[in-house]
Amino acid sequence: MKKDRKNFLLEAVANFFTGLPKGRVLDLGCGNGDYAKRLKDLGFDVTAGDIDIARFRYRNEIVFKRCDITKEIPFPAGYFDYVLLMEVVEHLGNPYAVMPEINRIIKTNGSLIISTPNILNLKSRLRFLFEGVYEYFREPPLDQIKNPKEIIFNLHIVPYRYQELEYLLFRTGFKVKNIFASLYEGYWLWFLLPVIKFQSWQKERRTKSKGGNIDYKRIHKILTSKELLFGRNLIIQAVKA
């Protein structure tokens, strides 16, 4: 992850947490711990969790717990008010096994704050048109694992559109509450907006005329939002049902 990109994401998350009630937070897949440190400075009771403590910078300030996200997370049920999962889900080989365990350790009505590269922004869509790959997912994983500079758990395996991420959350006991983004960019592609919105309207019209039972207005409102069209990272607050 590029340094400037990480900073924008960190600022977006910190700004969002500023308006939330204080409580227990697990920064799961914490990496170097910068997110955990910022939330602790905001007054939250933070625990950092990762499989590797070597990268963690704040051992004397923040409680660190070794967590292998592919196995049982070592906390009791309903322990945390918030779990932070930043730029992790796209690395998981079996998210449908991981997410229920995250759900287990969150209190009822508690929140999961999850982020992933936003492959639906206009810059990414344009790259896909010409290269057949999404922004942030340019390297083929099979070739990338042979790169001696690559760390295996840093591989981007699964690119998520909003639709698939929303479905993953639903299937594992969460409901989307808020959608926001880390950085808004690519405004020079504004000329594509009329075409995109016209296409959305046409799809809604065709579906209705054919007696379709899907109301595309709901998803199109999200997909044509500023967050999805111009956001660099997609960030979702999902509430435990």
pLDDT given for residue 3 in this prediction: 45
Q: What is the Cα–Cα distance from 97 to 71, expressed in whole angstroms?
A: 9
Q: Which domains does the chain have, with CATH numbers?
A: 3-188+231-240 (3.40.50.150)
**10 — pLDDT class (breaks 50, 70, 90):** very high
pLDDT band at 214 (very low <50, low <70, confident <90, very high): confident
Whether 231 and 182 have beta carbons less than 8 Å apart is answered as yes
**Structure tokens given for 19:** 């308006």
pLDDT of residue 191: 93
Q: CA-CA distance, 200 to 44, in Å (whole number)?
A: 41
How do residues 168-207 score in pLDDT, each as one tens digit? Answer: 999 999 999 999 999 999 999 999 999 999 999 999 888 8
Bridge partners (DSSP) of residue 240 are 174
Tokens of 79: 């322990």
Spatial distance between the Cα atoms of 89 and 174, rounded to a whole number of angstroms: 15
Q: What is the pLDDT of residue 153?
A: 58
Q: Taken in order 21, 50, 105, 170, is the CA torsion positive or negative?
A: positive
Mean pLDDT taken over the chain: 92
Dihedral (CA of 111, 112, 117, 119) sign: negative
Residue 213: what pLDDT? Answer: 81
Q: Residue 5's pLDDT band (boundaries 50, 70, 90)?
A: very low
Report the pLDDT value the prediction gives residue 210, as an integer from 0 to 100: 77
Q: 3-class secondary structure for 110-123? A: EEEEEEEECCCCHH
Kindly report, residue by residue over 131-172, the tens digit of the pLDDT: 999 999 988 888 888 776 666 557 788 999 999 999 999 999
Please give the pLDDT value at position 6: 53
**pLDDT of the residue at 211:** 74
pLDDT single digits (tens) 31-57 = 999 999 999 999 999 999 999 899 999
Which has more confidence, 163 or 5?
Answer: 163
Distance CA 159, CA 233 (A): 12
Cα dihedral sign, 167-172-173-179:
negative
Q: What's the pLDDT score for residue 7?
A: 79
Token pair for 128: 């896909």
Question: What confidence category does residue 2 fall into, taking pLDDT thresholds of 50, 70 and 90?
Answer: very low
Quote the pLDDT of residue 146: 79
Amino acid at 211: G
Contact 81, 108 (CB under 8 A): no
Q: Determine how β-strand 63-66 pairs with β-strand 45-50.
A: parallel
- Residue 151 is predicted with a pLDDT of 61
Other beta carbons within 10 angstroms of residue 111's beta carbon come to: 23
Strand bridging mode 45-50 / 80-86: unpaired
Distance (Å, rounded) from C-alpha 88 to C-alpha 28? 9
